[in-house]
Structure 1
């Protein structure tokens, strides 16, 4: 036990395990501790090994006695006794390396020893314990894989429906085409009107600037005239206090001054009237500017919404291209899967034909049993030749097994590669579906905004 990496169980534990988990029916009832201790029975040990191979590889016990090596072999019945033992030995030798047992020999089948047999059975028992949870994990992964494939089909169907909805949303229905044309015509007319109003506003702004300049000049002149009047009043006061003029000259000067004041008042009144008119014009221009600014904001919103719609359409085209690329990769994977299935079907067909051929050979063997019994004396003479041929057959079998192992390695690598491609495809499809959903939500919001603005 110290030399092994697995525990060596006692005979009772081994018997209970193999009776419950490996053997079935009458074999489980008849298998007892006496078959292993004190001296193991070769028939019981061989039966156990055959049942283990059947449990692991679905290789039925009756298949060990067939002669599948050469066609048209002479006297195949003579090989029946050694073929079963040789087949079990070859397959157990290959299997026990996975159980960390490397010293399995032909004597362990023909003349089994107690301790060696218990060690081998303990190794197989340890491997079966290890295999059971791994099989559960593999079954869970297979169920998850099937569920993922079903989900992928559902998602693919949903993507197609979403594409149809997007296409219906992007296309204008015929009954709304006239309304869309009217809106486009109204939009162009509104833009032309806005341009004309902008020109009028610019002209009014220029006239307002001219009027403001004139008002500033007149205001400056009025202030200068007021200053002059004040100076004249002061001068008149000084002069009246100093000089005594004639009443007629004083009257004429006073009349001139009154006329000047009257003219100044009239010009001031006219200036006030012009100022009121200009203020009214400024108010109307301001109101027009507010309306034009509102219309300009609406046009900017409409232009931004149209740009967003164009951007969403470009993103949709990119997503569609990516989706088509992933569809092509999925089709390629399906084609590879179909090729592997056809190869498997051809292999199964070949196995069935080989089984039919073996069945025919068995029938021929049953027909020639009586003839073979008369040739038993010649069997002893040809035994050495048969032994040599058996060795050649064994070498060919080893070569065939090596080729099968290499083919299995290649198949496992291809399977891993296909699994990696499928994982990559699943991740890409999940990302694609997520982006499509977000794109649909954004598109619905943009459509709602456009409809509200219209």
Structure 2
């Protein structure tokens, strides 16, 4: 006990704890600090109350002799059975409190420091048990709240599905407007296609006109260059050659005619240029109109693409919603299986309790029969001296059976502890799944609400 892994409490703390948590009304009033001196009877009753609190093993059951054992002269065993029963059950219980060296001397002749350390170990275990029970109650409350949330979320999902169905189906009141809009859209598309063809034809004619204008401007430039060259040549020739006046007159007339022709051609080209400029202005106006129509068409295409994207997103959301519904159904099935397993275990426990009650009733009836036979046994005390040797052999057999019963009880406690650990782990995993699923559902609902 020198290497305790738990704190050893003072006598006042132990007294207050066992008065409030373990002992009943009258026992708590009569339990004082002098009982921890210690008094063996008080320590034994305290251990019995601890066993009754933990295992529901009543204190009067410790003094009962086993019914199924064929024991001769059970009156001699009644005094020792209570102490042996408390000792055996404390040996099974105290390793959970990290006390491994409990002996029979701690019940028959307990010491103060030794009993304080054992009681502090039991107190530490009871405090830990209380803390874990509070945690389990919190988890149960959280689990119930999560189940309520799941039900609320399923209801909201059903309402959202109904709203989506109502939104997807166009009502008969707006069906005529939807048909008119579809017809207007088809007419708009046909008109835009026709206008695009006209615009392409006009663009081709404009390109041809621009090429012809460029060619004529080049020709005009060449003619101007030729005229300037001819004028220079004429000025040179005038300076060099002195011709007859008749030839000069004829040449001047020819030159005048050529000038008139050139002026006429220039005027015609100017008029043609004005006409072409008017055509270019009209073409620019048509181009601006076509650009506006093109921007309108682009807006229509973007709106159509947006509607397609929204439809695709809606389909994806529907697929995700179906997946979430399948996961919800699987979780509900798992929850139902766990509930069924819990109900089966509770039924088994109730059946075991009924069997135990029946066995206890049989034991009480047997005890009453044995008490009736005790009067006859007292008359046969003279014959008991001859059978002492047989009783000693039977006691050895009893010890062997007690040892086997201890092994069986230890195995059963280990299996029960393993079952409890697996149950707690499964409940923790279920809580985690439900929390992650609720977070995913919240995200999906927010996305759905935003899209709607």
Q: TM-score range by the shorter chain?
A: 0.7 to 0.9
The correspondence of residues 110-149 of structure 1 with structure 2, limited to 5 A, is 110-149=108-147
Q: Which moves more between the two structures, 195-204 or 237-246?
A: 237-246
Paired with 2:178 and 2:73, the residues of 1 have a C-alpha distance of: 90
| Distance 1:58-1:76 versus aligned 2 partners, 3 A rule | farther
| Secondary structure in 2 matching 1:112 | coil
The aligned runs of 1:12-91 (5 Å cut-off) are 14-37=14-37, 40-65=38-63, 71=68, 81-91=79-89
Partner of 2:420: 412
Cα deviation, residue 48, structure 1: 0.3
2:355 alignment partner in structure 1: 353
Bigger Cα displacement from structure 2, 239-248 vs 184-193: 239-248
CA distance in 2, matches of 1:287, 1:393: 109
Q: Indicate the larger mover: 27-36 or 93-102.
A: 27-36
In structure 2, relative to structure 1, the CA distance for the partners of 1:178 and 1:327 (3 Å cut) is: same
Gaps of 5+ in 2: none
How far, CA to CA, are the matches of 2:258 and 2:172 in structure 1?
A: 84
2:263 counterpart residue number: 261
> What does the per-residue CA deviation read over 1:285-327, in whole Å, with 9 as the maximum and x for residues that have no partner?
3312321232223212321331233134214303421441243
| Change in CA separation of 1:239 and 1:53 when aligned onto 2, cut-off 3 Å | same
- What aligned pairs does 1:290-439 form with structure 2 within 5 A after superposition? 290-363=292-365, 365-366=367-368, 369-376=371-378, 380=384, 381=387, 383-384=391-392, 387-388=395-396, 390-439=398-447
Question: Which is further off, 360-369 or 47-56?
Answer: 360-369
Of residues 180, 184, 187, the one that matches 2:185 is 187
In structure 1, the residue matched to 2:217 is 219
Shift of 1:8: 4.6
Q: Deviations over 1:399-423 (max 9, x none)?
A: 3313312422431342244134314
CA offsets 1:334-355 (integer angstroms, 9 cap, x no match): 3123213212222222212321
Equivalent pair of 1:96/1:102 in contact (CA under 8 Å): yes
Preserved contact between residue 42 and residue 110 of structure 1 (Cα < 8 Å):
yes
Structure 1 residues 335 and 165: CA distance shift in structure 2, 3 A: same
Query: 1:14·1:122 contact (CA, 8 Å) conserved in 2?
Result: yes
The structural deviation recorded for 1:209 is 0.7
- 1:3 deviation in Å? 4.4
Question: Is the contact made by 1:22 and 1:51 (CA closer than 8 Å) also made in structure 2?
Answer: yes
5+ residue gaps, structure 1, are: 445-454
SS in 2 for 1:98: helix
Which TM-score applies when normalising by structure 2? Answer: 0.83
What is the number of residues matched between the two proteins?
441
Change (3 A) 1:56 1:321: same
Scaled by the length of structure 1, the TM-score of the pair is: 0.83
Query: Is 1:164 equivalent to 2:162 in the alignment?
Result: yes
The answer to whether the 8 Å contact 1:54/1:61 transfers is yes
Quote how far apart the aligned CAs of 1:154 are.
2.9
* Pairwise CA distance, 1:425: 1.2
